[in-house]
Amino acid sequence: MIEMSEKDGTVTFRVRVQPRASKSEIAGEHAGALKLRLTAPPVDNKANEECRRLLARLLDVSQSAVEISSGLASKDKLIRVEGVTLELVRETLAKK
């Protein structure tokens, strides 16, 4: 199960990214983190931007509401999403 927490209108969870995939999509779970496949390469911040775009689209929030709070240079990242509830994030990700 993906570990998530909610505090002050912000949901925090971990993701594990796989850059240079054929399609940007949710690929399940990896060690308590949401696994994402991203088409972007891990250079010049492109994979991080694609990660933020994908999560914003999936959760129906603006891209500025999605923040990578740690792991900018790593496959493992800590994500903070403002303006959503824990329940909404869990329901949305379960449908994908």
Q: pTM for this one?
A: 0.94
Rounded to a whole number of angstroms, the CA Rg of the chain reads: 12
Q: Are 81 and 66 within 8 A, CB to CB?
A: yes
Asked if the structure places residue 85 within a domain, the reply is no
Q: How many domains does the chain have?
A: 1
Q: Give pLDDT tens digits for 11-50.
A: 999 999 999 999 999 999 999 999 999 999 999 999 999 9
- How much is the pLDDT for 35? 97
Q: Which two tokens stand for residue 50?
A: 């694609």
23 secondary structure, DSSP code: S
Residue 73 lies in a domain: yes
What range does the domain containing 37 cover? 4-80
Distance CA 36, CA 47 (A): 11
Domain holding 51: CATH number?
3.30.1200.10
In a domain, 96, yes or no: no
Residue 20 lies in a domain: yes
Q: Residue with structure tokens 């971990």?
A: 14
Tell me the C-alpha distance between 32 and 3, whole Å.
Answer: 5
The answer as to whether 90 is a domain residue is no
Domain-located, residue 87: no
- Inside any domain, residue 91: no
